[in-house]
Structure 1
Amino acid sequence: MTPVLLTLAGLLGLLVGSFLNVVIHRVPAGLSLVSPGSACPACAHPVRPYDNVPVLSWLALHGRCRDCAAPISARYPLVELATGVLFVVVAWRFGGTPYAAAGLVVAAAGVALFMIDLDHRRLPFAITGAMAIGAVLALGIDVVRHGAGPVPVALAAAATWLAVYGGIWLVTAGRGMGLGDVALAPVLGLVLGWLGWGPALVGLGAGFVVGAVVGVALIAAGSAGAKSRVPHGPFLLTGAALGMFGGGPLASAYLALVGLG
């Protein structure tokens, strides 16, 4: 992947990140993504096109509305930057392949789901469904171009993720996690399983490890109690990212450590 294409991937990620800010705000509220246009929540003045350039407009405005000087949260440019970085990493890791398209779909939808779960403790099925459709279409193109070799492992990995998350949901009667996590799990399992069992299993386990570490840290800091409910979606998505980008080497290193590699 050339520097020019990586730059284009980053720019695309910034633009997608700008749209994701709209998704994050409007989807949980049941609002249209198309209309009305973006406006300042304080004074309701429509945002001018030149004030809607990802990251740069926020910097040029010093994080304030041009019309009423109300502060604009830094999370907007951070979401754009995070999406841009993820797009660059996906493009660098997977190049110009159909799987890269699936990775970009997962990255974009994942950012939206991550933030919505933090804000509202829910993972909208509409976004998970869009992720599933986009990923399956991209992987379908991969099958046409390169054959169906990855399909059996990918389907088995999706079933494994669904069994684990669905089992936890059933055993805990929905207290351990929500149906949104259960619906998202097989989509991530399918995409990671396309890369093999290593990424799929590392991604599956990493979500629980990250969640446990963060939970212990929050309890130690006094920010949460032992019975506090913390949204699991961000950990699920973080684990999937670890599996996608480093699951293969991590799995190989573990197998070598236990003498099976």
Structure 2
Amino acid sequence: MYQVCIIIFIFGLCIGSFLNVCIFRLPESKSIVRPGSMCPKCGYMIKFYDNIPVLSYLWLKGRCRQCGVPISFRYPLTELMSGLFALCVFLRFGFTPEALVYYVFISTLLVITYIDIDHQIIPDVISLPGIPVFFAASFLIPNMTWTDSLLGLLTGGGTLYFVAWAYSLITHKEGMGGGDIKLLAMIGTLIGWKGVLFTIFVSSLVGTLTGVLIMLISRKDFKLKVPFGPFLSIGAIAYIFFGQEIIYWYFNLLSPY
């Protein structure tokens, strides 16, 4: 069993290396296929032995072999996260089509999260194709019907659209970008309307606590412009692994019998 886990983890590390390429190039509308990996500072084409996930970063001490410029720690961090999620999905759902769908979904959310943190955008090139792709993939999820997926799409997109519309109507300011609306619509196609409600609750809670914490640390009272995409991703991933159990526990807690 542990041999399989090691293989799954290494597979996830390799996928994480590709996710780094997507995170860096998609916001700049560059090809994620050509050219190969290169140093963003000097343009040095990275050799295969310098492109081994995590290990090459440690071997090179976090610097480009050619120019010596520091390489962000986020590169190996993304690879590690991808590897750990691959392992967690396998341990939770086994070697099944469902596990593969969830891993692709989580990998997509990782890319979106980093891009939203860096650029305050959620590229349509990810979220819009993601809606039909994950709608089709939802047929591989047990107990998920096409009506659940469709309701998730409508609930996800409709809920945030209404919130954005109401905020704009009251304050005459734009409070939530269209990228978040499309992202939650994409999320809803795979985890359904219950997952959307769970995601909204968790993302709002975590986002609020994070905002308050940042203000306390900085000791400033100001309006923060915090990207909401990462928190939506956290909520959706939490639902995949723990959502059903938490919902079941919550309703049992409310039940008098």
SS at match of 2:28: coil
**1:131 Cα deviation after fit:** 3.3
Q: Provide the residue aligned with 2:153 in structure 1.
A: 158
1:229 to 1:223, Cα distance in 2 relative to 1, 3 A:
farther
Give the TM-score normalised by the residue count of structure 1: 0.88
Contact 2:211 2:224 in 1 (8 A): no
Contact 2:122 2:229 in 1 (8 A): yes
Cα separation, 1, equivalents of 2:218 and 2:28: 31
Q: Provide the residue aligned with 1:258 in structure 2.
A: 254
Contact 2:155 2:196 in 1 (8 A): no
Identity percentage of aligned residues: 34
Structure 2 unaligned spans of 5+: none
- Range 159-168 or range 129-138, more displaced: 129-138
Cα separation, 2, equivalents of 1:15 and 1:39: 16
Q: Provide the residue aligned with 1:79 in structure 2.
A: 78
- Range 25-34 or range 156-165, more displaced: 156-165
Contact 1:20 1:112 in 2 (8 A): yes
**1:27 Cα deviation after fit:** 0.7
Cα separation, 1, equivalents of 2:166 and 2:256: 33
- Range 3-12 or range 183-192, more displaced: 3-12
Cα separation, 1, equivalents of 2:224 and 2:17: 32
The count of corresponding residues between Structure 1 and Structure 2 is 253
Letter of the structure 2 residue corresponding to residue 162 of structure 1: G
**1:92 Cα deviation after fit:** 1.5
**1:96 Cα deviation after fit:** 2.5
Contact 1:132 1:187 in 2 (8 A): yes
**1:229 Cα deviation after fit:** 1.0
**1:57 Cα deviation after fit:** 0.6
**216, 222, 226: which one aligns with 2:218:** 222
* Deviation sequence 1:239-258 (CA, Å, 0-9, x none): 11111111111111111111
Cα separation, 1, equivalents of 2:243 and 2:153: 16
Contact 1:203 1:247 in 2 (8 A): no
* Deviation sequence 1:17-50 (CA, Å, 0-9, x none): 1011111111111111122222212322111111
Letter of the structure 1 residue corresponding to residue 22 of structure 2: V
Cα separation, 1, equivalents of 2:2 and 2:256: 38
Letter of the structure 1 residue corresponding to residue 41 of structure 2: A
Cα separation, 2, equivalents of 1:11 and 1:100: 16
**178, 197, 200: which one aligns with 1:201:** 197
1:234 and 2:234 aligned: no
Letter of the structure 1 residue corresponding to residue 180 of structure 2: D
1:151 to 1:223, Cα distance in 2 relative to 1, 3 A:
farther
Give the TM-score normalised by the residue count of structure 2: 0.90
- Range 109-118 or range 151-160, more displaced: 151-160
Cα separation, 2, equivalents of 1:149 and 1:185: 17
* Deviation sequence 1:174-209 (CA, Å, 0-9, x none): 72211111001022122122xx83x44322311111
Cα separation, 2, equivalents of 1:237 and 1:260: 34
Structure 1 unaligned spans of 5+: none
**1:168 Cα deviation after fit:** 1.4
**142, 166, 172: which one aligns with 1:171:** 166
